[in-house]
Amino acid sequence: GTPFVLFPLVKASPEGFNPPLRVSGSDLIQAWNLKRTGLRHAEARKWDTAIFTWRMAIANNAADGALIRGLLQTVAQTEEPHRYTDVTVAYSRWLLRLSRTNQSDVELVAGLYEEIGLYDLITRTFAERAAEPHGRFALAHLKALFYQGEYQRFKQAWEQSRSTIKGDARAVAEI
């Protein structure tokens, strides 16, 4: 006969995501519990444990962008985010794939890349986006072009984005 399934698999990935990700109810509960534990560890500044716990939560539900954002925000809070470069790259790329054009996710990721010095990934992320960069991402893109020695592209990007960051005196001073 057919085995009894206490928690059937449910589609958890965003509409149009291919392949669709399915998660069991017990995995959803475990991810929720691990999220709470990760938040407690981050609040206590136990960074390694918090990051490990966030990763376990994501392993239970890889389709939940909020879990990935929580992990990346925890990395951003640490004193040495470069220690978690491998985690940042892997999970940020996955988040961008899940959320596609979510501007706040792009800015979160670009901010982390900038903090760690992953300028090539900032320019790659820019190249993958159809829209012009805004806010923090526009500034990170300009810095990435400059630090990579792409001075002609920097000049073009500066001319295009100067009006969008013009009001941000701190951003302009950083350039």
Residue 138 to residue 171: CA distance in whole angstroms:
10
The predicted-structure confidence for 5-28, as pLDDT tens digits, reads as follows 566 788 888 888 888 899 999 999
The model's pTM is 0.85
Q: What is the largest CA-CA distance in the chain?
A: 70
Q: Which residues contact 48 (CB under 8 A, 6 or more apart)?
A: none
Cα within 13 Å of Cα(143), Cβ side: 23
> With the C-alpha atoms ordered 104, 108, 109, 111, is the resulting torsion angle positive or negative?
positive
Q: How do residues 49-108 score in pLDDT, each as one tens digit?
A: 999 999 999 999 999 999 999 999 999 999 999 999 999 999 999 999 999 868 899 999
